[in-house]
Amino acid sequence: MANQEKRQQGLMKIIKTVHDFTVNDDLEKYRRSQANLGRLLGTKQSEASYTEFMIDDIPSEWIRLNRPHQEQTIILYCHGGGFFTGSLEYSRTLTTKFASAASADILSFNYRLAPEHPSPAALEDALKVWGYLMHLGYGAKNVILAGDSAGGNLALALALRLKEDGRILPKALVLFSPWTDLSLGGASHEKKAALDPILTADYLERARYAYVPDGADDHSLYMDPFISPLYGDYKDFPPVYIQVGTNEILFNDSTDLHKKLLRQNVPAKLTVYKGMWHVFQMSNMKTATEAVHEAAHFLFSL
């Protein structure tokens, strides 16, 4: 057990070093280094093809497997990055892995980022991409909404907006370490601060003030369900699957959401991975692969 813990600590140090390599006070350099890392670590082209195109002014990408796969259901993926960094290129390691496990095509897109484009720009772009899929002829029940971190937030916000507008909801949602509460009220922000190799309090403060600049003066803005989906109404929602690691300062963002979904009679499942960090599924390791396959198994069970 002691040796296992030492290996785990050593792995988290490596993860922190790789992650810190991308961090930069210069926001444009930060974004470029993330995209470059995503391209560097991305799955080989032989497994999937990547077709880049535009949905109006939104850079988008189809990820299609280079082998027979089911075509009835597709996945609409929202990348993470705190709403002010991240890209479809950066998330490609995870989206390709997820496409392979789920045997489904994935549509990923680059929504506008803060602080240049604060809320509700990201949600507006997500709605536009959803509309594009509907115009292609996909029914809402043929679409899985998925996302990691802030992208998990955006997937939830999109579904909540569809519900508010009286539209048909997606078949299900899959969320990897979703950031659901921008009020930063979860107890794990303090309890897990020394463990999390990826996220820090300073990063989350910077991210939320970029996304909701008026929140610095009016904290109640963070209770808006389209900003913090934890405060949403999930009655009559489709099934939701959530994954989170025990070493995340956003641990309670997942567990509190799961409890709320169950209270509102939503078919919801939460898988907790001991010793894992924020969006560990992007890593090249056995546990990450198993987690992505577990997410796919959830979809197969619907």
**Which residues are tagged catalytic?**
149, 248
Asked whether the beta carbons of 49 and 97 are under 8 A apart, the reply is: no
Quick count: other Cβ atoms within 10 Å of Cβ 204? 17
Rounded CA separation 107/90 (Å)? 14
Structure tokens that stand for 130 in this block: 């959803």
| Element containing residue 151 per DSSP (H, E) | helix 150-164
Q: Which helix (H) or strand (E) holds 49?
A: strand 48-55
Pair of tokens at residue 298: 């959830």
Residues 215 and 234: their CA atoms lie apart, in Å, by 24
- What are 138's strand-pairing partners? none
